[in-house]
Amino acid sequence: MDTILYNEDIQFPEAFPAKHSYENRINSNPFLALHWHKACEIVYVESGSYVCTIGGTRYAASQGDILFVNSCVPHDRIFYSGRYDVMVFDPMRIFMGASGQTTPDAGLQIFTTFPKEDFGLRKYASEFFPVIRNNPPGEEFMITGFLYKLYMIAGEHHFFMADRETQSVSIRKMQKIDPVIEYIKDNYMHPIYVDTLAGIVRMSPRYFSSLFKSVTTMSPLDYVNLFRVNKACGLLTESSVSVTDIAYKCGFNDSSYFSRIFRKYKGVSPIVFRKHNS
């Protein structure tokens, strides 16, 4: 299992820049490694539970919840059980007007989760996704209509982040820290220091930490810990190695600290994670 932060290159059909899938997994293959993509992503949880990390924050979603992953935001996924819909799309193409120009709202950074008072968005999603699963005639129009309504509600009720940057800027920042990501991949089992990481890209530790956090929404050491935890997930599900040995293999010098950090990112202890995912 590769746990490096990787770029998932999603290819859309030339005719329409969106893809939909419907998943039904009961405690099987729940883990998806930390990754990012240019496309935006919407997850609708029809039933069960859905646990993931988006931008360094853990989210636990349940029936009827909607999660939104903005362009270029690192995220991973854990599915304990249930049914859910995933839709990825290119907002720049979806919201391109007749003039060939993208509308300004296409760049909105939508909230990852929506407040309880969502002005009918959850209800609309509960009606939309069961229909779209059957690939009905006019599917493209239905998806476009759903996305227009989502963005309309987000804009009207301020369900978006005030600070935003262009997709191209985000990608350039990702490329700058690539050598650091590779170093962490090769050395996660050893002690890693911010000064060392900053030196790889010839930056001051302070500037490097600021840049790294702007890209991953995590501090460098938080990312290292998450990387180690993700690596541990593979060992917990694919081997019978003890939790203590896994902690040491993944760069943690204290099994209690490992368990605490593991629970921080995954919401459960290593033992419970192994039980659910073996």
Q: Provide the pLDDT for residue 145.
A: 94
Confidence of residue 98 (pLDDT cuts 50, 70, 90): very low
Superfamily, domain 6-156: Jelly Rolls (2.60.120.10)
197 pLDDT band (50/70/90 cuts)?
very high
Nearest to 168 by CA among 247, 72, 264: 72
Average pLDDT over the chain reads 85
- Three-state DSSP at 179 gives helix
Worst-scoring range by mean pLDDT, 135-144, 199-208, 267-276? 267-276
pLDDT in tens, 220-259: 999 899 889 989 988 998 899 999 999 999 999 999 999 9
Distances from the Cα of 204 to the Cαs of 106, 169, 207, 210, 216, in angstroms? 35, 21, 5, 10, 18
% the chain with pLDDT above 90:
47
pLDDT at 28: 46
Distance CA 194, CA 42 (A): 34
Alpha-carbon distance of 135 to 91, in angstroms, equals 21
Instruction: Domain ranges for the chain, please list them.
Output: 6-156, 167-277
Average of per-residue pLDDT across 158-169: 65
Q: What is the pLDDT, as a whole number, of residue 190?
A: 96
Q: What residue type is assigned to position 96 of the chain?
A: M
Fold annotation for 167-277: Arc Repressor Mutant, subunit A (1.10.10)
Please state, in angstroms and rounded to a whole number, the distance separating the CA atoms of residues 106 and 84.
Answer: 25
Q: Work out the burial of residue 17: count CB atoms within 10 Å of its CB; fewer than 13 is exposed, 13-18 middle, 19 or more buried.
A: buried
State yes or no: pLDDT of 4 exceeds 60. no
